[in-house]
Structure 1
């Protein structure tokens, strides 16, 4: 398995040829974890090295997240390795003509990049200055990329943006004999998705906290990928192998909230809405919501839902939606953005809105059960 495969290092001046399209594509993936400004200068670089007879490997890291991409070389006349500025090389690659690109490492770690009639000369850094990349020696666990993509899409928006809330700055991910689940929360809302009967295709179960940045980069790596992802855990790191690309991340440690206690058990009122219709109404009404709180009011009465907002400086808005509801009149305040985050995921699917009263957490979920058990819990606001 490529998780623990090391690249051979050469001290000689390297030279190789790759296609412009492959170079630009793989640089785009690696660039995601390279810091623009860093107290450790080499971390603004990517490591370029030859692996075997016809593979060029690109590696970027911020010490918390590492991305490594392998691409086919048209030719490797001299194997070797060098570090160059990641952002500048990507800018160059984007503007190069559609022709083979020749890299040549010269004396004093200078690097020339030649494509057709264009030539750049870049300052390089010796490979020894680049941090060691962690490796996994554990047996891999495999899971469909489609499941991982579905999980991340349904939960990443509920991860807290507050760096001080360390254990909430990632997703709880569990993969065991019963299936897989992912949970995120920022203390005001909680997203939960589960798929039972998932074969983990490996001997080890996984129960970990994955940082938000890692999930965002994983989303990019899995776009358009339909195979399996190999998962590995070793020490403080989790490994995601997505075809010829590898993402390595430090795991978060700490006590994630008891999400079972947050899930409402007594929401005895349920209304079904068209997800797209509800989303559009909320978007319109939210235009007049307070810019800081994004507060809107749900007023439920027999046969209809009235959504309203007001802003002392700008005005107010109100929209009425038909609803199959025969209970008592109820007012509930919500952060409009929180509702939209969920509704943007479900699209035009029917949505079940479940609640107890105006002071208890509400739950939204797709009305029609599918392969995924998807639930979204939102705390009410005082309005």
Structure 2
């Protein structure tokens, strides 16, 4: 095998596949990345697989001699990321001597030759590297890249980090005839994003398809899609019970699906509201960030006071041992005055995901779910549960 590629291409694709390398591999081969050089198509593909998440990416290169080999992922990633920009030659032919020194001679070895030097890395054969899973269902659902990026960006932050909650560690995706709906909740907040699915024109497509996917896999999908050169090309999604495969532009991501009944989240969203506010999103985030300096010292809770007469809200934090702080800002308010409290972290993460200049805040009382949504832009709902104020 012998290839010539750019440092930037190799570095970019290594960094993407490296995310699927297990930190504690159950077998030595899983600590490696599979490198396949295809001379006929002048392409190099890199694959990593932790037996749950699998990533394969491909890029164009000058393939002088095709071949397949596996290389230690962390070492290769660390070396390539530090190399200067320019051409790199990867060659598994062992030279007689390197600068007068005997080369590494134990087993397979790959030599990397950037313009500034030479590196040799022990490799392993590809025979034991596991194949990426496939689904029994061979009918693809085509999803727009822009809709996937929009939906994942608006809800991934709300998934649970508690592995014992299983299904809540993922995003619930509902594919309908003309829309995609993404939902995520950790039990304290809920994010729902609805985007247009312009690629579903197939009459054979079922009215509704639902699947829950792990947040880890979807974060990698989001990262890979951000590097896509053609956003107008769709992603093909194949799934059956237990497995999902995403394919696009010579890229592939595989993951297990999450089993279990996802909560009926639409039932959590109130149908009517006694109070409604319109606020400047950036101004509210800035005020929360300043107040958070004090809130972080205690319980991360801030009080929000609504004053309909003066048409303003006041954020406040009081910690007896340290001090207090308050911030006021204008708002368009409909409804009676009320004091309500929130976990600042949950509030800020949701507000940062809302893609609009102004946001709408809707609520009933100080213990009922509060809904935040963008004024204009994509259709997104963020639900945050208030916390009880202690007098």
Q: TM-score normalised to the size of structure 2?
A: 0.88
SS in 1 for 2:254: strand
Where does 1:15-30 land on structure 2 (aligned, <5 Å)?
15-30=2-17
Q: CA deviation at 1:253?
A: 0.8
The alpha carbon displacement at 1:76 in A equals: 2.8
Per-residue CA deviations over 1:160-215 (Å, capped at 9, x if unaligned) read 11111101000000112142100000000000111356432554453101111111
Other structure's SS at 2:143 match: strand
1:218 maps to which of 214, 218, 221: 221
Q: Could you tell me whether the CA contact under 8 Å between 2:275 and 2:336 is conserved in 1?
A: no
Partner of 1:336: 344
In structure 2, the partner of 1:305 is 313
Question: Which of 41, 44, 62 does residue 74 from structure 1 map onto?
Answer: 62
Alpha-carbon displacement from aligned partner over 1:47-88 (angstroms, at most 9, x marks no partner)? 0112351221110111111110112221232x2211111111
Asked whether the equivalents of residues 45 and 86 of structure 1 are also in contact (C-alpha less than 8 Å), the reply is yes
Answer yes or no: is the 8 Å Cα contact 1:290–1:311 preserved in 2: no
Partner of 2:128: 129
State the shift of 1:294 in Å: 1.4
Q: CA deviation at 1:350?
A: 0.8
- Structure 2 distance, partners of 1:197, 1:243, is 19
Is the partner of 1:125 in helix, strand or coil?
A: coil
Q: Distance in 1 between matches of 2:299 and 2:48?
A: 38
Residue 348 of structure 1, CA deviation: 5.4
Show CA shifts across 1:337-358 (max 9, x none): 1111122123551110000011
SS at match of 1:313: coil
Q: Secondary structure at the match of 1:149?
A: helix
Q: Secondary structure at the match of 1:365?
A: strand
Match in the other structure for 1:57: 45
Q: Tell me the distance in 1 between the aligned counterparts of 2:365 and 2:381.
A: 18
Count of aligned pairs: 367
Q: Name the counterpart of 1:109.
A: 108
CA distance in 2 between counterparts of 1:169 and 1:288 reads 30
Identify the residue that residue 86 of structure 1 maps to in structure 2: 73
Aligned to 1:144: 144
Q: Structure 2 CA distance, aligned partners of 1:350 and 1:358? A: 22
Cross-structure match for 2:102: none
SS in 2 for 1:344: helix
Secondary structure of 1:32's partner? helix
Looking at structure 2, the residues matched to 305 and 269 of structure 1 have their Cα atoms a distance apart, in angstroms, of 13
Q: Which residue of 2 aligns with 1:4?
A: none
| Cα distance in 1 for residues equivalent to 2:371 and 2:382 | 5
CA shift for structure 1 position 331 = 1.3
Closer/same/farther in 2, CA of residues 290 and 50 from structure 1, 3 Å limit? closer
Equivalents in 2 of 1:170, 1:143: separation in Å? 19
The CA distance in 2 between the partners of 1:132 and 1:33, in whole Å, is: 14
Aligned residue runs from structure 1 range 312-323, under 5 A? 312-323=320-331
Residues 1:197 and 1:51: Cα distance change in structure 2 (over 3 Å): closer
Equivalent residue number for residue 269 of structure 1: 275
Deviations 1:248-299 (A, max 9, x none): 1111111111111111123231110011111111111121114464111111
Q: CA deviation at 1:115?
A: 2.3
2:300 matched to 1:294? Answer: yes
Q: Does 1:48 align with 2:47?
A: no
Structure 1 distance, partners of 2:196, 2:259, is 26
> Where do 5+ consecutive residues of structure 2 fail to align?
94-104
Of 271, 285, 290, the residue aligned with 2:291 is 285
1:244 paired with 2:246, answer: no
Pairing 1:31–2:18 present: yes
Provide closer, same or farther for how the CA distance between residues 97 and 359 of structure 1 changes in structure 2, counting only shifts above 3 A: closer
Q: How much has 1:39 moved relative to structure 2?
A: 3.3
Q: Equivalents in 2 of 1:348, 1:195: separation in Å?
A: 15
